[in-house]
Amino acid sequence: MGSICKPKILALDFDGVICDGIREYFETAKKAYRVIWSQNINYDCDRLFGLFSQFRPVIETGWEMPVLLRAVILGYKAMDIESKWGLICTEILSKDNLKKEELILILDKTRDSSINFDLDHWLNLHSFYPEVIRELPKLLNSTIHLYIVTTKEGRFVKQLLKSKGIQFPENKIIGKEIKQPKYKTLSQILIHHEEKPQNLWFVEDLLKTLMSIYKQEELRGVKLFLANWGYNTTRTHSLAKKNGVFLLSLNQFSKNFSNWIKS
């Protein structure tokens, strides 16, 4: 296989690329909601989960999850949540005099409490995409520099991978604790390995994140892939293709890299 069809560095998002944690997000969001708004959720649980799953693609980082529940419970229209999520999120925070930092703290404490109380239950709320999890050991044993770049706490990622018997190098898991956008992290990875942008491939399920990377001059040439099995929609699939992003399927992921860049 020629070097043009194989990355020297491969970076993967975690949620929506390696792991499907929608059940855990929902349970954690519900618990955090009760703390933030000091009230129980008076809403049909199955219907709420369905709407939460439907709108999950609008969420960029974890602290927004309880805010999404709030938006659903307050009756915001679906089309507004899908098209104006940033404005709605800001509106809810402002109305209830909340700060993002507070929500981050509450969410992490909620997650820690769940892990400490019943680790097995917490782990079982997550599932992994088989086609991806099967490839990780192979990639780790290859000459490719494999990274996980995520907005999830790195320690949670490590715990989840450990449950699947995967010992991922800690210094290759770059989580939200680094407190910087993913494009900056990717730039630092390139500098560290003294590699050119075209030798870095990045798989993400959020188109907005991919477009923020695409706009960075120093990252021109990085191959960007939207994981179509993650938290995105058919609308974002078509937008990705129009903006120089490769649409990647699970079937392609489990094949040779040359298959990844086939249109």
| Mean pLDDT in residue range 96-122 | 93
**Both structure tokens of 42:** 């008076």
**pLDDT mean over 229-245:** 87
Tracing tokens 């890299």 back to the chain, one arrives at 257
* 182 phi and psi angles, rounded to 5 deg: -65, -35
Query: pTM for the whole thing?
Result: 0.86
| Structural domains present in the chain | 3-20+127-259 (3.40.50.1000), 22-124 (no CATH)
The confidence band for 238, taking pLDDT boundaries of 50, 70 and 90, is confident
11 φ, ψ (degrees, to nearest 5): -115, 135
pLDDT band for 263, please (50, 70, 90 cuts). low
Tell me: the pLDDT tens digits for 32-76?
999 999 888 888 889 999 999 999 988 888 899 999 999 999 999
